[in-house]
Structure 1
Amino acid sequence: MSLDWDEFRFVKAVADRGGLTAAAAQLGINHSTAFRRLGSIEARLDVRLFERLRTGYVPTPAGLAMIEAAARIETDVASFSRTVAGQDQTPSGELRVTAPVNLASTLLMPILASFCDRYPQIRLDLILAEEALNLSRRDADVAIRASRNPSETLVGRRLTGIAWAVYGQAGQTYGDLADAYWVVPGSAVAASLFTPFVAARAPVERVRLRINTVTGLTAAVAAGIGIGPLPCFEGDADPTLRRLSGPHPEIGADLWMLTHPDLRHAGRVRAFMDHLAEAILPLRPRFEGR
Structure 2
Amino acid sequence: MPTAASSIAWDDFRLIKAIAEARSLPAAAELIGLNHSTVFRRLGQIEEGLGTRLFERHRSGYVPTPAGEEMAVLAERLETDIAGFTRRLAGREILPAGELRVTTNDSLLVELLTPLFAAFMTQCPDIKLDVLLGNQALNLSKRDADVAIRATDNPPENLVGRRVAQIGWALYGRATDFPEGAPSDQSELTQQRWISLGDQFSNFKVVQYRQKHIPADQTVYKLNTVLGLAEAVEAGIGIGFLPCFIADKRPALVRLAPPQTGYAADLWLLTHPDLRHSPRVRLFLDFMAQELARLRPLMEGSPIGRENTEAPSPAEA
Tell me which amino acid in the other structure corresponds to 2:101. Answer: R
Identity %: 50
Tell me which amino acid in the other structure corresponds to 1:269. Answer: V
Q: Aligned equivalents of 1:197 and 1:12: distance in 2?
A: 44
Match for residue 168 of structure 2 among 160, 163, 168: 163
How far did 1:195 drift?
4.0
- 2:34 is aligned to 29
Q: Aligned equivalents of 2:53 and 2:193: distance in 1?
A: 56
- Equivalent runs, 1:116-131 vs 2, <5 Å: 116-131=121-136
Q: Aligned equivalents of 2:238 and 2:282: distance in 1?
A: 43
Range that drifts further, 133-142 or 220-229? 220-229
Match for residue 101 of structure 2 among 89, 96, 115: 96
- Equivalent runs, 1:1-290 vs 2, <5 Å: 1=5, 2-173=7-178, 176-189=188-201, 191=203, 193-290=205-302
Q: Deviations over 1:45-87 (max 9, x none)?
A: 3444344455544433333212211110011001101111101
Q: Aligned equivalents of 1:57 and 1:221: distance in 2?
A: 49
Cα contact 2:201–2:207 (8 A) shared by 1: no
Change (3 A) 1:242 1:39: farther
| Structure 1 SS opposite 2:249 | coil
Range that drifts further, 199-208 or 96-105? 199-208
Q: Aligned equivalents of 2:209 and 2:260: distance in 1?
A: 9
Change (3 A) 1:6 1:181: farther
Q: Aligned equivalents of 1:4 and 1:23: distance in 2?
A: 17
RMSD: 2.2
Tell me which amino acid in the other structure corresponds to 1:79. Answer: G
Q: Deviations over 1:6-56 (max 9, x none)?
A: 121222223334433333233222333333333433343344434445554
Q: Aligned equivalents of 1:272 and 1:80: distance in 2?
A: 22
Change (3 A) 1:264 1:26: same
Change (3 A) 1:191 1:5: farther
Change (3 A) 1:84 1:241: same
Q: Deviations over 1:154-180 (max 9, x none)?
A: 111111111011222232248722222
TM-score normalised by structure 1 residue count: 0.91
| Structure 2 SS opposite 1:140 | coil
Q: Aligned equivalents of 1:170 and 1:93: distance in 2?
A: 46
Q: Deviations over 1:117-156 (max 9, x none)?
A: 1111111111111110111111111111111111222111
Tell me which amino acid in the other structure corresponds to 2:90. Answer: A
How far did 1:193 drift?
4.5
Q: Aligned equivalents of 2:193 and 2:62: distance in 1?
A: 45
Change (3 A) 1:65 1:220: farther
TM-score normalised by structure 2 residue count: 0.83
Alignment: residue pair count = 290
Tell me which amino acid in the other structure corresponds to 1:221. Answer: V
Tell me which amino acid in the other structure corresponds to 2:12. Answer: E
Q: Aligned equivalents of 1:17 and 1:251: distance in 2?
A: 39
Q: Deviations over 1:249-275 (max 9, x none)?
A: 333111100111111111101110111
Q: Aligned equivalents of 2:38 and 2:120: distance in 1?
A: 42
Structure 1 runs not aligned, ≥5 long: none
Structure number, greater radius of gyration: 2
Q: Aligned equivalents of 1:90 and 1:211: distance in 2?
A: 43
Tell me which amino acid in the other structure corresponds to 1:273. Answer: L
Cα contact 2:202–2:208 (8 A) shared by 1: no
